[in-house]
Amino acid sequence: MPYIFTVILLFIVELFYFKIADRFNIIDKPNERSSHSIITLRGGGIIFYIAVLIYYVQSGSYPWFFIGLTIMALISFLDDLRELSTRIRLGVHFTSVLLMAYQLGVFTMPWYYLLITFIIIVGVINAYNFMDGINGITALYSIVVCGLLFYVNKSVHFIEQDFLIYTLLGLLVFSFFNFRNQAKCFAGDVGSVGIAYILLFALGALVLKTGDFIYILFLAIYGIDAVWSIIRRLYLRENILEGHRTHLYQYLANEVGCNRLLISGIYAILQIILGISVIYMAQYDAKIQWLFSICILVVISIVYLLIKDYIVKNYVRRIVKNNI
């Protein structure tokens, strides 16, 4: 019953936010880098923060994490309203990461654990933000990652199960409005950054509890697309902090013309398959885990690069040529 009431409350809050967003013109206008053509309400992903807020009010668990999430969500929402400087955003991200690290107990470990934690969290948060570009992709992918964590938590118990349940409830409510051919709302920075921070906290707790870094592969499908896109942009000497349309999912949606919900579903399904494999391989020793991780990343990267190269040669260049 508490979960049912929470879902009802989250729906009410989301609908109320829509009225506020409409009243104050909090919208996402299409531009040359967008993958949509219709003006859509922005910031609907604030419901992820609300879901965790409800959990925190009831439990009082993980206070330092929650403070970090709050300031992260606040600065991201302000960025949705009016673009803030990169220095301000990175400063807040740095503070929030330190709060998360403190909550996870990383400060009691060797200094390089803190450095690794900082690099991974900041990198994943920004990658998650850039990957949030078409209907349903953030919602479905995050449901998969949270679901995998929920399953593992039943046996490992690295975090309170209600933390993951309330996060899933927020994701499901958001999906109702976002997983549509014509979305009612987009997550916005407050949503993509917020859910990345939430999932990374749970994932970090799992890795620290088990000592198995293989669980990082729960984010591998997003990671492959984000990392190789960044490498390509660095090679072309482009500003990696600016928005763009060169991720594989963007090429599939814009140049190839695939259905956006189908693309989101494919990313989610691939991560489910990989996640199940990770859970199975976690029973083996570290050497086998590392060998599996390297092999799977190499294979996925090769397939990814071949598909992307084919699309660039057969679709992107043709479109550019026709526009000249």
pLDDT in tens, 26-59: 887 655 554 545 778 998 999 999 999 999 999 9
Instruction: Inform me whether the pLDDT recorded for 241 exceeds 70.
Output: no
Instruction: Inform me whether the pLDDT recorded for 320 exceeds 60.
Output: no
Domain ranges of the chain: 2-323
> What pLDDT score was predicted for residue 89?
84
The residue among 34, 48, 6, 216 whose CA lies nearest residue 120 is 216
Sign of the Cα pseudo-torsion (309, 313, 314, 320, in order):
positive
- Exposure letters 217-245 (e unless 16+ CB within 10 A, then b): bbbbbbbbbbbbbbebbeeeeeeeeeebb
Instruction: Inform me whether the pLDDT recorded for 15 exceeds 90.
Output: yes
Instruction: Inform me whether the pLDDT recorded for 321 exceeds 80.
Output: no
Residue 81: CB atoms within 10 A of its CB come to 15
- Exposure letters 115-151 (e unless 16+ CB within 10 A, then b): eebbebbbebbbbbbbbbbbbbbbbbbbbbbbbbbbe
The residue among 145, 276, 141, 281 whose CA lies nearest residue 201 is 145
> What pLDDT score was predicted for residue 225?
94
- Give 182's DSSP letter: S
Regarding pTM above 0.75, the answer is yes
How far, in Å, CA of 208 to CA of 294, rounded? Answer: 20
Query: 23 or 298, which is more confident?
Result: 298
> What pLDDT score was predicted for residue 208?
94
> What pLDDT score was predicted for residue 44?
93
Whether the CB-CB separation of 39 and 28 falls below 8 Å is answered with: yes
- pLDDT tens for 205-232 read 999 999 999 999 999 999 999 999 989 8
Q: Which secondary structure element, helix H or strand E, spans residue 288, and what is its range?
A: helix 286-311
Read off the tokens for 190: 């407050």
How far, in Å, CA of 276 to CA of 255, rounded? Answer: 32
> What pLDDT score was predicted for residue 30?
59
Instruction: Inform me whether the pLDDT recorded for 324 exceeds 70.
Output: no
> What pLDDT score was predicted for residue 37?
53
Instruction: Pick the range with the lowest mean pLDDT from 63-67, 78-82, 163-167.
Output: 78-82
Integer angstrom CA distances of residue 79 from 40, 44, 156, 251: 17, 14, 37, 26
Mean pLDDT of the chain: 90
> What pLDDT score was predicted for residue 114?
85
Read off the tokens for 166: 């309330």
- Give 27's DSSP letter: E
pLDDT confidence of 136, banded at 50, 70, 90? very high
At position 204, the amino acid (one-letter code) is G
pLDDT confidence of 118, banded at 50, 70, 90? confident
At position 321, the amino acid (one-letter code) is K
pLDDT confidence of 156, banded at 50, 70, 90? very high
- pLDDT tens for 91-106 read 898 899 999 999 999 9
How far, in Å, CA of 219 to CA of 203, rounded? Answer: 10
Query: 56 or 117, which is more confident?
Result: 56
